[in-house]
Structures are given as C-alpha cells and as structure tokens.
Structure 1
Amino acid sequence: MSHRESAHVFTRDDDRDHLRLLLRIARLYWIDGLDQKEVAAAVGYSRPTVSRLLAQARARGIVTVQVSHPVESALACETRLRSRFGLTEAAVALDRGGGSAAAVGGIAARLIVRRGGERAVVALSNGSSLSALVSAMPPQRWPGSHVVQMIGAIAGADTDAQLVDSPELCRRLADRLGGAHRPLPVPIVVSSATMARAMAREESVRTTLELAGRADIAACGVGAVDADGSSGRILRAYATPAVDAEVRRGGGIAHLAGHHFDAQGRHVPTSLCERLIALDPARLADVAVSLAVAWGREKVAALHAILRTGYVNALATDEPTARALLDFRP
C-alpha cells in the first residue's frame, strides 16, 4: 500500500467510503471468522494495515465486544444470596418461563450429586419441592449411600399426598442413588405429647432421627403460613383452629420440619410441636449441607425467615424468587 493510500485511509475518517471499508473489514474478521491475513487478501491491503483498521473500528464503536451468558444473572444472584444470608451454597435456576419445579428440582439434584458421594447419608423432609428434586435426580452408583427420613409420615395420606410424603420420597431417592433407605415408621403428629415422647424413645425412631442429624446432606421443603395462621397442605390435617391461633399469636410465617418460625427466624412454640415426630430443626445447623428447596412469590417471606434461623446453609430456588428474596425487607 502506498503512502498516499495510507494517508487517505487514516486521515479522512468522516469519509463514507472509509466507513464502508471499516464495516467490511470488521465483518470479515469478527463475523465471518477470517484471520487478518485472509482479510488483507480479500480487501487488497497489507496485514498491518488491516490490523490498524480493525483497531480503529473498535475505537470508533463500529465493533463492540460483549461478554455474557444467559446464566450470568443467575450466577450473580447466587453470589449475592451467599453473601446476604451467609450460605455456603446457593443454586439459582434460570427463569425460562416454563415453570420452576423441574428447573429448581434439577439444580438441587445437581448440588446433591456434587456434594454427595458413594457413601453419602442424605436426609429428607417432605413436600412438593423435594418431590421435584427426587424426580430430577439422575441415576447414580452410590451403593453405600443411605437416604433417611427426618420426619414422620402423613397419616392417612391420599394418593396425591403420598407422592410428597417422606417415606415415598426416601424410597424413590434411594432407588435413584442405588443405595438403601432408612424409614421412620411413625406419623408426623401423634395424639399427645406423652405419646410423642414415648415414640421418640423407641429404638427404631431414635436411631433413625440420630442418623438424620448426622447426615452429610439434609434437604428440606419450606412451608408458608397464611394470614389466618393456616400452614398449608402438609400440616393441614393436624393444625386445628387452636393451633392456627397459636401460630398467629407467635407471629409465625414459615414452617420447617413441622416447626413454625417468625419473621426474625425465631422458633414459635405451639402445642403441635409437642406432638411432632421429626428431627429438631436446630440439628440441621450441624449438617454439612442443609439445603432448603423452595420457589414462588408466596414463599419469599417464609424463605427469608428460614434463612434467618441459621439452621440451613444452602438454598435451591429459581431466579424470580431469588431476586424477590434479595429485595425483601420484613
């Protein structure tokens, strides 16, 4: 290229022909994937001149570079959740507009696969979120693993309720992991505090709950409490109007493993607690991965409360819920 050509290219920046040249070179290089030598051959200039023209295209904003990925916003939410709530793990599923059960269940299952292993002990509570987790679990070869109930069964459950009940979830997850499961052959709630204490002393119950308290991973659903004190599907059969009134008086807005908590993450004792057969939620604080799995705007206040207990150190949710949770102020 002659000195005259070079002067024409580099001094007449406002010339439309020059802009056309910059566009052509930029497309050949960044869109068509030619290297600088190939671009030089295509436009009839030297490779050093092409290099300078490409730099000029960047400087003039003809070419902009954006580094991004659809998962980037979810990763940012995970970082903020870990920082805000002191979590060791946060898994946020992308908002694809197609429902969250499969997405959150899948990301929770992957977390368990990553943190578990051939001899892992996994404890489960109950609920639809854990059913989604179990359904999404890819088959593993963990012959030494054990899946343990951390809460009793829903007494007299209908078919739909059985699908989210702890015994069925534990059996299904053990099948997926290729290991064994340890049942807890008692109901969630019994008729009296005296009976609950007696059952808790039974060897099969005591050893199962102790194993759950020493699990490598514990996965729990999070229940939300309505304005009237109603605790939803899992506890509906046991929460009488008197219990609902106790929950309201105590400011209960969430429940975890059958126990109620207020907006500050403080336990709300009720007469129902005395009749529960379940792992004490405080034991979750000693589990390496104590995972809450939940999503939906109706769960945001409840999730916030449970994360404030200090009992769970991991969360699996979807992006809309994560953003609402980060913005939430009780």
Structure 2
Amino acid sequence: MPDAPAPLPTPPAPGADLQAVQVARLYYIQGLTTDAIARELGLSRPKVSRLLSHARRSGLVEIRIHDPEGQAQALETELRTHYPFLQAQVVSVPQGSPEHLWQDRVATAAASLLGRLIRPGMTVGLAWGNTINAVSHELTPRAVPGVTFVQLNGSANAADFMSGFVTDTILRFARSYSAGAQLFPVPTFFDDPATKQAMWRERSVRHVLDLQAHADLLLYSVGSHTASTPSHVYAAGYLDAGDLDVLAAEGAVGDIATVFFRKDGSFDGLTLNARASGPALSLVRDAPDSICVVSGLGKVAALHAALRGGLMRRLIVDEITARAVLDSVEP
C-alpha cells in the first residue's frame, strides 16, 4: 500500500499572528522567559513555545546573528589587502560603546601579543603615551631572562624634568617581566637643534641611542591632538601654541615617539623633528619588528598616514577605528 500522505500543518487560529508578535516582543525584546510570558498572558508554556515557533516560521521574527569576530576578521583581511606589509589584529568592541572601552580592549590585546612575542635576551623599545600606559596595566607578569626595555624618546619638559607618568610606565613593563629598564632623561623637545646634536655626542646618551637602534621590537602608538583623549605629549604641555602652529603649517598630522609625519607618511624636513628626542622614523619603519597600538576615531588621520608611510609591521586596532581608516582609503 502506498504511504499515507503527511498530515498538513494545523492552520493558525484566528489572531495567532497578533498573539505571536506579542509573545515575540516579550521574549526577544524584553528578555522574558517562556515561563514568565505564560504567567503574564495566562497561557500554557507549550502554547508560548508554539507561538514563538509560528513567529519564526511565518517571518514575523527574523533572527540575524552579527558575528563580531567575523567582522573583525573581514577588516583584518581588508587592511592586509591595502597594506600587504601589515599583520593586523582588529579587536571587536560593542556597538555604541565609549572610546575608553575600545582602548581597554585594544590594550588587553596588545599586552597579550607582547607576552607571546617577548623572548630571552630581547631589547624592546617603548614610546610612552596614554595608550602604551594602558597596555602596561594589562600585562601578565612572568620572568623572561635578559630582557631590556628602553625608552624611545625623552620625557622632560620645562615644568617637569623627569615625568613620573613616563617613568612609571617604563618601569611597569620592566617589573612585569623581571627585566631591565633604560630610561632616557633628556628633553622631549630641545629648544635648539644644536643642543640636541651636542647631547647626542655624549657617551651616556649614545648608549641609549645604540639600544634603541638595535632593539628587536618596538611598541608604540600614534599621537594626535584631535583625539577625544589627546595624546599625553599634547595634553601635558610639551608643545606650545607656536609649535602647534608650525606643525599645522607644515602639514603634520601625527607623531610616533614625538617625531612627526605628514598625511602621506613622509617625515623629512619637518622643523620640529630636528628638535625632537625620538628616533628617526626611518628606524621605526625598518625595525625588525614593531607593534603599533591604536584606538579612537581622533587618531584615524594619523593612523592612515602612518600606514601610508609603512611605519609599522603589526597593528592592533579596534574595529570601529579600523573601519574608519579603511573608509578614508582612496579607491
């Protein structure tokens, strides 16, 4: 005998769509459990489950899954397409979250990456600032023999010869890995380029410069005076109004270790760089390995320019900032 035909599904009762929408709102929008919905509407729990199934089958409810990791991975692929030299890690952040949360997430990711990369005998150059300070608070302590952290740019200004903010950041890295720390007690910006050149001939300074030049890994961010939380060098009085005017007139859009670069990533000929204590950006560009850690929409222009100049090997960035940078890439 032929098989009996499958029974047709029971048609929904009149008003089922309205009741299914009501149940779906309570379940998906207000987050009530099926038990709570049953009590509130005077229905049985199986009835609530059937109404939820009806809402999905009939299209009254559409379920979409937005995979933040998938979005991040797509952005990483797009960054590598535009910048083939780059190893990018895009960090997912909740939509609508504040920028300080983005920085926290990015700092945690950077600290994790540093922990995987660091090895015995390594010299790590650190460019101080708000972002790298945030990374220092996320480190997982472990002893790594023979590691030295070297400060990449001076931290003294007219008001404070040796910034406690900077010293604490560098020493926090060193303590986390039971490592040595080489501070760099020179002005962030010299008043006269000739003074800098004279200082650079001193043996004690040459020792620090040699450590910087032979570092195995550099860790830094990009600075920007337009960020919602301005980079420390802009907020702490290291630059006066005249300096900022000169930077604007010469087309500077950002800095790495207080050495400035233009929109196209170039850095030669910028007046303030002759007075800056940070390393030449050619050293940053050609370093064996480097991690640039960036978060915040105020840093988009600076990050875009640094990428155009090839001023990093690795990038850790939040997904919203990454998307904004990619949106600014010319087709």
Q: State the TM-score bracket (shorter-chain normalisation).
A: 0.7 to 0.9
- Map 1:78-89 to 2 at 5 A: 78-89=76-87
- Map 1:166-205 to 2 at 5 A: 167-205=167-205
- Secondary structure at the residue paired with 1:186? coil
Corresponding residue for residue 72 of structure 2: 74
C-alpha distance after superposition, 1:116-167 (max 9, x if no partner): 2122221101110001111111112212111111111133566xx632x2x3
Q: Distance in 1 between matches of 2:181 and 2:159?
A: 20
Q: Distance in 1 between matches of 2:225 and 2:132?
A: 18
Q: Match for 1:220: what amino acid? A: Y
> What is the root-mean-square deviation of aligned Cα atoms in Å?
3.0
Corresponding residue for residue 279 of structure 1: 279
Corresponding residue for residue 148 of structure 1: 150
Instruction: Rate the CA distance shift 1:215–1:248 in 2: closer, same or farther, 3 A.
Output: same
Confirm or deny that 1:240 pairs with 2:240: yes
C-alpha distance after superposition, 1:179-234 (max 9, x if no partner): 1111212121223111101111122222212212222210112112459xxx8540
C-alpha distance after superposition, 1:262-310 (max 9, x if no partner): 1111116344222222211210122222222121111101110111111
Q: Distance in 2 between matches of 1:308 and 1:329?
A: 10
- Secondary structure at the residue paired with 1:71? helix
**Distance apart, 1:245 and its partner CA:** 2.8
CA contact (8 A) 1:260 1:268 kept: no
Q: Distance in 2 between matches of 1:100 and 1:157?
A: 31
- Secondary structure at the residue paired with 1:224? coil
Corresponding residue for residue 93 of structure 1: 91
Q: Distance in 2 between matches of 1:193 and 1:137?
A: 37
Instruction: Rate the CA distance shift 1:226–1:94 in 2: closer, same or farther, 3 A.
Output: closer
- Secondary structure at the residue paired with 2:200? helix
Q: Match for 1:93: what amino acid? A: V
Q: Distance in 1 between matches of 2:104 and 2:315?
A: 16
Q: Distance in 2 between matches of 1:154 and 1:168?
A: 14
CA contact (8 A) 2:233 2:239 kept: no
Q: Distance in 1 between matches of 2:105 and 2:159?
A: 27
- Secondary structure at the residue paired with 2:150? strand
Q: TM-score, normalised by structure 1?
A: 0.74
**Distance apart, 1:69 and its partner CA:** 4.8
**Consecutive unaligned residues in structure 1, runs of 5 or more:** 18-60
**Distance apart, 1:238 and its partner CA:** 4.1
Corresponding residue for residue 112 of structure 2: 110
Corresponding residue for residue 250 of structure 1: 250
Q: Distance in 1 between matches of 2:4 and 2:281?
A: 76
CA contact (8 A) 1:190 1:275 kept: yes
CA contact (8 A) 2:267 2:281 kept: no
Q: Which runs of 4+ in 1 moved over 6 A?
A: none
CA contact (8 A) 2:156 2:185 kept: no
- Map 1:201-220 to 2 at 5 A: 201-220=201-220
Q: Match for 1:134: what amino acid? A: S
CA contact (8 A) 1:118 1:143 kept: yes
CA contact (8 A) 1:250 1:268 kept: no
CA contact (8 A) 1:190 1:196 kept: yes
Q: Match for 2:274: what amino acid? A: E
Q: Match for 2:233: what amino acid? A: I
Q: Match for 2:80: what amino acid? A: R
- Map 1:9-88 to 2 at 5 A: 9=6, 15-16=8-9, 69-88=67-86
Q: Distance in 2 between matches of 1:154 and 1:221?
A: 19
CA contact (8 A) 2:259 2:279 kept: no
Q: Distance in 1 between matches of 2:288 and 2:88?
A: 14
Q: Distance in 2 between matches of 1:308 and 1:181?
A: 32
**Distance apart, 1:70 and its partner CA:** 3.6
**Distance apart, 1:248 and its partner CA:** 1.9
Q: Distance in 2 between matches of 1:175 and 1:125?
A: 17
Whichever of the two has the greater Rg, that structure is 1
CA contact (8 A) 1:92 1:107 kept: no
Aligned residues: 274
Q: Match for 2:75: what amino acid? A: C
**Consecutive unaligned residues in structure 2, runs of 5 or more:** 11-58
- Secondary structure at the residue paired with 1:148? strand
Q: TM-score, normalised by structure 2?
A: 0.74
Corresponding residue for residue 317 of structure 1: 317
CA contact (8 A) 1:255 1:261 kept: yes
CA contact (8 A) 1:119 1:145 kept: yes
Corresponding residue for residue 41 of structure 1: none
- Secondary structure at the residue paired with 2:233? coil
Identity between Structure 1 and Structure 2 (%): 28
Q: Distance in 1 between matches of 2:206 and 2:192?
A: 18
- Map 1:300-315 to 2 at 5 A: 300-315=300-315
